[in-house]
Amino acid sequence: MKYRNHCISIFLLLLTANPFIATAQMKSCCEPEGTVLVSTVKQTAGTLKMVKILDSIGRNANPEDFYLMNTARAELFRKKLDTEKDPYKRLDYYFQYSSESLNAGKTDEAIFVLEQVLRSMNATVETSSQQMKIFYDLLAISYMRKGELENCAANHTAQSCIIPIQGGGIHRLTTGSEKAIELYTKMLVKFPDDLQSRYLLNIAYMTLGKYPAEVPKQWLIESEVFTKNKSNIVLKDVAVAKGVDMNGISGSCVVEDLDNDGLLDIMATSYGLNDQVRYMHQQKDGTFKNETLASGLVGITGGLNVIHADYNNDGFADFIILRGGWLGKNAKFPFSLIKNNGNNSFEDVTIETGLYSAAPTQTASWGDFNNDGWIDLFVAHENYPGQLFMNVKGKFKDVTAKYGLNITTFAKGCVWGDINNDGYPDLYISALGAPNKLFLNKPGKVAGERMFADISKTAGIEEPLYSFPAWFFDFNNDGYQDIFVSGYDTRRFSMVAEDAARHMLALPVLGERPRLYRNNGNNTFTDVSTAYDVNHVNYTMGCNFGDIDNDGWLDYYLGTGAPEYTSIVPNKLYRNVGGKKFEDITYATNTGHIQKGHGVAFADIDNDGDQDIYAVIGGAVEGDRFRNVLFENTTNNGNHWVKIKLEGVSSNRSAIGARVQIKVKQVDGSFQYYYHIVNTGGSFGSKPLTINAGLGNAIGIEEISIRWPNANQTAEVIKNVTMDTVIKIKEGSRKL
């Protein structure tokens, strides 16, 4: 940074050895140290090998390489201040030190240093240049974060950080928001076109219960934004009551019945290099018990994403933990394949199964690309070649080169889906800063072999050029898998809140938009994003889909945000209106959480027939921790449902890729068809492999047709199925 418009004398106070930092450090000297976990069970050799590798990564990581090592990065800038004499560089280092301190969770320290620096310069907002404004931006968001920590975190309620903020979400400790309001108001007087400050000013007033009444009229974002859409869907965050409000930074989740006792459990990750994966086992009373210490997984750390499947066909869901996403070329971290032993214990089998590989990734997808009954794995890396691992009876072989999938791109999402209903899964890859890819799985030159053809251009699915998570789903129930791919414009990371303000104020939004691609049934797609009203800039990270109101049409929930603390924008819930359009029902359902949303899963966690939403909440830096949420669905609209659990025999045991058609009879005597594919949903979050199908106001199920993902693509038709029940179908049994 250059500040040549300031007098050299202003900086003389900055030439002494860090006059502001010593006092600030004393304020935070008593913060609790991280808890050391000790396994209560003997861990396997494979697990201990991975624990040793991960421990070495954590101990030897260079903070200059990894932006999330904020405590260490702050210390680097403090040391630079010990020796640097140039006043302009010192000012830059003070800014960086304050920024990293805030990112490390040392909010009071950041505030103290920023205020002392500005005071020493006799600086004011009123006389600030655009260059100096960044100091006030940082100070204002530091105060906002102070308010969040003292209230939403330390005095958490089910309404904390959900906009429009009301009830238990109103801050009891008001200093943070009051100081933020003071600063944002002054900045808006000086910089009236600052939409980001305008958005954050409105949020700050909300936290004090003073929105909209006390927001200055010229800066008000009208409350009609939050009331224009209505909904009869009832959702409430019950994570604290259920015991699943784990507090961490960004990460993901598997929601699945991991011990086959009929109750869904949760496996959750957190992004920090030393953050422990956590196993939450559901009890008979609907609460969850943290069984991490007895799970065999102590020391298995990190992981931005996690996806599950039964890789060894033993009837228990296993999962893969993905590491290194966003951390650059030096993040050559291994992913972990975790085997489920079926007794609430797990072990790392990455090395022994032939899966060990070290490259930055946060996305992978399970699919049986050759329909041999063993689930295969594609791992997409960030600026490293992707890898296709063929499952050979529980061991894995890298066959990437053979099948031409060693594509190098900055991959942020990958999913399998059958676009042409030929029974073989095709592969979609979402990329950041490059065209997205679609590979058609087709017969090879040798009988029985498969090959992949890049049909990206002709299929018309390459946009957006800055994208993140993706999924296949049949949103219009026409029997063909469609594609949703989110926009994620990293060029505007620092302007996420500005784009939120633009959307609320009906101004042109500048970030990248998502795409909803409707399958034309001929290996091409049509972009219907605008027609279906989903072309909103949301900065989506974690996400998933499900039927939140059991009307038979698939809805979706988006976790949003960016690394900056200013990007406290609402996560979004979109309802599918009969396959004709989507409507944003976020505020009407109280699901607009403004803390950073990551891995998402739709799941009937309480076994009452409707789907709840579990989401991992937290940002990408050490201090941006927040509690995960569980939105319990208590909607009572009379819609029917059926849950279908498939077990493959010649197909993979998980039945991933099975196509299910449900034919129901309507009140008027007509028939409606609903289509589902067995999978874990979107590319960032892992929902149960049991199909949870809404049936609307149907009067009965006529039949359920299944096409199994085996070499012969066996078809079965099941009749005499009762609505509002759970059914289990074993391949070949032709009965329940």
**CATH number 2.60.40.10 is the correct assignment for the domain at 235-633:** no
DSSP 560-624: E--SSTT-----EEEEEETTTEEEE-TGGGT--B-SPEEEEEEE-TTSSSS-EEEEEEB-SSTT-
The pLDDT of residue 3 is above 80: no
| Backbone φ/ψ region at 138: left (φ over 0), alpha (ψ -120 to 50), beta | alpha
The pLDDT of residue 652 is above 90: yes
Q: Phi, psi (5° rounding) for residue 93?
A: -65, -35
Average the pLDDT over 186-192 and give the result.
Answer: 97
CB-CB neighbours of 534 under 10 Å: 24
Cα dist from 111 to 129, 180, 535, whole Å: 20, 11, 38
User: What percentage of the chain has pLDDT greater than the value 70?
Assistant: 95
The pLDDT of residue 23 is above 70: no
Cβ-based neighbours of 224, under 8 Å, separated by 6 or more: none
Q: Tell me what pLDDT residue 2 has.
A: 36
The pLDDT of residue 18 is above 80: no
Average the pLDDT over 501-529 and give the result.
Answer: 98
**CATH number 3.40.50.300 is the correct assignment for the domain at 8-28+64-215:** no
Q: Tell me what pLDDT residue 21 has.
A: 54
User: What percentage of the chain has pLDDT greater than the value 90?
Assistant: 92
| pLDDT band at residue 12 using 50, 70 and 90 as cut-offs | very low
Q: Which residue intervals of the chain bear CATH 2.130.10.10?
A: 235-633
Average the pLDDT over 379-393 and give the result.
Answer: 98
Q: What is the pLDDT of residues 597-649, one digit of tens each?
A: 999 999 999 999 999 999 999 999 999 999 999 999 999 999 999 999 999 99
Q: What is the pLDDT of residues 402-461, one digit of tens each?
A: 999 999 999 999 999 999 999 999 999 999 999 999 999 999 988 889 999 999 999 999
Separation of alpha carbons 199 and 457, rounded Å: 39
Q: What is the pLDDT of residues 309-322, one digit of tens each?
A: 999 999 999 999 99
Q: What is the pLDDT of residues 122-160, one digit of tens each?
A: 889 988 888 889 999 999 999 999 999 999 999 999 999
The pLDDT of residue 24 is above 50: no
Q: Tell me what pLDDT residue 34 has.
A: 55
| pLDDT band at residue 734 using 50, 70 and 90 as cut-offs | confident
| pLDDT band at residue 19 using 50, 70 and 90 as cut-offs | low
> Model-level pTM greater than 0.75?
yes
Q: What is the pLDDT of residues 253-273, one digit of tens each?
A: 999 999 999 999 999 999 999
Q: Which residue intervals of the chain bear CATH 1.25.40.10?
A: 8-28+64-215
**Architecture of the 640-730 domain:** Sandwich (2.60)
Q: Tell me what pLDDT residue 10 has.
A: 38
Separation of alpha carbons 708 and 658, rounded Å: 5
Q: Tell me what pLDDT residue 20 has.
A: 54
Closest C-alpha to 503, from 588, 593, 569: 569
Average the pLDDT over 270-295 and give the result.
Answer: 98
